[in-house]
């Protein structure tokens, strides 16, 4: 028996392939500081616990495939608070932002068609593109240039007859970069002229350190029917395990066809929808609180990196990630070495090699992504360990 090419050629999660080495280190009694995955360590909002404890339904039934009307209404009101005018019928609830992203790819592109992505980008998009038969075409951004949006000329070079969409992740995972309204307008003009979809991932919308809100692509009326927004509460409300996201569009044909995909998987979890509904109505104080915390953490990591000779990094403007170029030969070898060979006082640190956040061969070979999802004291120690590790690793290079 043979597994299908679609699945066998899909990559395993690069964020988790070094987990066995971390587990082996822990069995040896070594403490591992996990900066390799975007799992917030912050306490979930108190409303969640009370809502779970007070769940009173006698029957746990399917919800509407598009999501409960209460949640869709709450999400539309939440987006209105972000200056995005949306109606409940423009929202289709998904089982996490990843399902919404897969829906969007299936809706926008036929197998073999192309979507432009700005690398480095969230590595799981590769798997979703492979499953849906979509070809990702990279436009490279550089750490030395703070991962600023590429020029119009560089972007237009990648547009072919097969190009159907541009993916815009704002704020960015994995770089922490934020695109301004001016940046987005450039993409809007390109999309309008070339009749391309704009796929907006704004999952980290409120986690912005400047105090200025992210300008949503849904706010540009000239491409009203060309924009599909993918959203999630996982990170900005610290509820990754709830697995609730959504797809949003002004385009009625998009939402009508998304509903077909939603119906194929029946419905998203009922209890989690109730919980998220309550959170979306009262999330401002919580997101404001955690944004302050992530800003403090970003400073600890950025300043720690600046103290290491030979490191190049851009200052994150949002989310809770940073990409750094290290004075090493190969980040995958380095990460494995840190887990297998290095420890200081029975402690080590685990980061993510950045190669898998790129499509272009050879890019990101000596770069890593750091997720600052630990407390400040732990981050300070992790940065010390990273510097000690780099110093020792260089001696063996």
**5-43+286-396 and 46-282 agree in CATH topology:** no
Strands 321-325 and 312-313: antiparallel
At the topology level, CATH places domain 46-282 in: 3.40.640
Cβ contacts of residue 199 below 8 Å, gap of 6+?
101, 104, 105, 108, 115, 165, 166, 167, 168, 228, 230
**CA-CA distance, 68 to 85, in Å (whole number)?**
19
Decide: 341 and 393 in contact? Cβ < 8 Å.
Answer: no
Neighbours of 267 (CB within 10 A): 18
Say how far apart CA 93 and CA 60 lie, in whole Å.
18
Q: Angle at CA 118, nearest 5°, toward 371 and 137?
A: 130
> Which tokens belong to 173?
């995972």
Give the phi and the psi of residue 208 in degrees, each rounded to 5: -125, 130
DSSP state of 89: G
Per-residue confidence of the chain (397 residues) as pLDDT tens digits?
988 888 888 877 766 789 999 999 999 999 999 999 998 899 888 777 777 777 778 888 999 999 999 999 999 999 999 999 999 999 999 999 999 999 999 999 999 999 999 999 999 999 999 999 999 999 999 999 999 999 999 999 999 999 999 999 999 999 999 999 999 999 999 999 999 999 999 999 999 999 888 999 999 999 999 999 999 999 988 889 889 999 999 999 999 999 999 999 999 999 999 888 888 888 888 999 999 999 999 999 999 999 999 999 999 999 999 999 999 999 999 999 999 999 999 999 999 999 999 999 999 999 999 999 999 999 999 999 999 999 999 998 7
CA neighbours within 13 Å on the CB side: how many for 73?
5
Half-sphere exposure of 140 (CA within 13 A, CB side): 11
Query: Domain residue spans in the chain?
Result: 5-43+286-396, 46-282
What CATH code would you report for 5-43+286-396?
3.90.1150.10
Residue 278: name the closest of 87, 51, 93 by CA. 51
């Amino acid at each position: 028996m043979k597994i299908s090419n679609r699945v066998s050629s899909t990559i395993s999660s690069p964020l988790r392939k070094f987990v066995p080495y971390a587990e082996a280190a822990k069995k040896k009694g070594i403490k591992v500081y996990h900066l390799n995955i975007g799992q917030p360590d912050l306490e979930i909002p108190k409303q969640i616990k009370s809502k779970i404890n007070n769940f009173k339904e006698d029957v746990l039934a399917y919800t509407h495939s598009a999501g409960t009307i209460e949640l869709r209404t709450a999400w539309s009101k939440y987006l209105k608070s972000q200056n995005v005018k949306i109606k409940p019928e423009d929202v289709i609830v998904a089982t996490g932002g990843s399902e919404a992203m897969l829906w969007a790819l299936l809706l926008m592109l036929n197998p073999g068609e192309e979507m432009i992505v700005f690398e480095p980008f969230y590595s799981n998009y590769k798997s979703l593109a492979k499953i849906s038969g979509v070809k990702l075409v990279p436009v490279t951004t550089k750490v030395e240039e703070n991962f600023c949006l590429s020029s119009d000329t560089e972007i237009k070079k990648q547009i072919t007859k097969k190009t159907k969409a541009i993916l815009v992740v704002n704020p960015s995972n994995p770089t922490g970069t934020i695109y301004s309204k001016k940046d987005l307008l450039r993409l809007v003009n390109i999309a309008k002229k070339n009749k391309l979809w704009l796929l907006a991932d704004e999952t980290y919308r409120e986690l912005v350190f400047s105090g200025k809100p992210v300008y949503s692509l849904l706010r540009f009326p000239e491409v009203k029917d060309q924009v599909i927004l993918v959203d999630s509460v996982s990170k900005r409300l610290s509820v990754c395990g709830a697995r609730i996201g959504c797809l949003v569009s002004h385009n009625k044909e998009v939402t009508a066809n998304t509903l077909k995909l939603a119906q194929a998987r029946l419905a998203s979890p009922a209890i989690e929808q109730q919980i998220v509904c309550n959170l979306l109505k009262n999330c401002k104080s919580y997101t404001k609180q955690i944004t302050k915390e992530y800003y403090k953490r970003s400073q600890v990591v950025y300043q720690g990196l600046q103290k290491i000779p030979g490191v190049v990094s851009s200052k994150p403007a949002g989310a809770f990630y940073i990409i750094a170029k290290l004075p090493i030969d190969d980040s995958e070898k380095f990460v494995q070495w840190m887990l297998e060979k290095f420890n200081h006082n029975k402690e080590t640190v685990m980061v993510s090699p950045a190669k898998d956040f790129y499509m272009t061969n050879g890019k990101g070979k000596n770069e890593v992504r750091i997720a600052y999802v630990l407390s400040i004291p732990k981050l300070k120690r992790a940065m010390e360990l990273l510097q000690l590790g780099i110093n020792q690793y260089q001696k063996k290079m």
